[in-house]
Amino acid sequence: MLSNRSRSLYDYFHQLFAQVTNPPIDPIREEIVMSLTSFIGPRPNLLGLDEANPTMRLEVHQPVLTSEDLFKLRDISKLTRGCYKSLVLDITYPAAQGAQGCEAALGALCAATDQAVADGYNILILSDRAVSATRMAIPALLACSAVHHHLIQSGLRTSTGLVMDTGSAREVHHFALLAGYGAEAVCPWLAFETFAAMPVCSR
């Protein structure tokens, strides 16, 4: 609390959970009642039981994607012959613009999601890979929640999936928050790049 550095937005949220659950929350030993399976893409009409062509969704075995998984998702239109169309939206902005630049970038991001859905993109990937010394990233949790709620208010949330490609996700708490605020999958690209760059110790 004595640090003069800004804290991560994730730090302002705290988890409240039961330490003992029955049955245990364990997808390995309790796979009958617990699953990490996640679905990406447009959401079907829950009341449309008689629909002849229900909305199809992509199924992933866990919501944490590798960089390879994300690259496949970026090219999903080629793999599915146009059934799915994904669009990467940059969530960075010029660092020189400061806090006002973040607010403007957030507004532009929400407007871009409206246009993307109108253009038929049914998977939106919010990415901060363009972050650099001159470009700052909108906090991933802020970008995710803003887009999620904006699409709800626009009546478009069920028309598209939302995937986060962020270097800020490092802990289970971060992934849980992103999922809670609308992300259907998360790729922690910086964590994977850090692992790859670590020297291998040999005995």
How far apart are the C-alpha atoms of 184 and 162, rounded to whole Å? 6
Mean pLDDT for 119-123 is: 94
Residue 19 has what pLDDT? Answer: 60
**What CATH number should be reported for the domain holding residue 111?**
3.20.20.70
How many domains does the chain divide into? Answer: 1
Note whether 171 and 127 are within 8 A (CB). Answer: no
Mean pLDDT for 31-59 is: 77
Mean pLDDT for 71-79 is: 91
Given pLDDT bands bounded at 50, 70 and 90, which one contains residue 16?
low
Residue 22 has what pLDDT? Answer: 64
Q: Is residue 46 part of a domain?
A: no
Q: Is residue 13 part of a domain?
A: no
Q: What angle do helix axes 67-74 and 189-197 make, rounded to 10 degrees?
A: 130
Residue 203 has what pLDDT? Answer: 61
More confident residue, 79 or 178: 178
Q: Is residue 165 part of a domain?
A: yes
DSSP string computed for 135-190: EEEPPHHHHHHHHHHHHHHHT-GGGSEEEEE-SS--SHHHHHHHHHTT-SEEE-HH
Given pLDDT bands bounded at 50, 70 and 90, which one contains residue 142?
very high
Residue 18 has pLDDT above 60, yes or no: no
- The number of CA neighbours under 13 Å toward the Cβ of 140 is 31
**Interval 46-72: pLDDT, tens:** 666 666 676 778 899 989 999 999 999
Q: Is residue 151 part of a domain?
A: yes
How far apart are the C-alpha atoms of 178 and 99, rounded to whole Å? 22
Where residue 13 falls (left for φ over 0; alpha for ψ -120 to 50; beta otherwise) is: beta
Which structural domain, as residue segments, surrounds residue 158? 35-41+55-174+189-197
Note whether 178 and 140 are within 8 A (CB). Answer: yes
Q: Is residue 110 part of a domain?
A: yes
Residue 20 has what pLDDT? Answer: 66
Q: Is residue 141 part of a domain?
A: yes
Q: Is residue 8 part of a domain?
A: no
Q: Is residue 20 part of a domain?
A: no
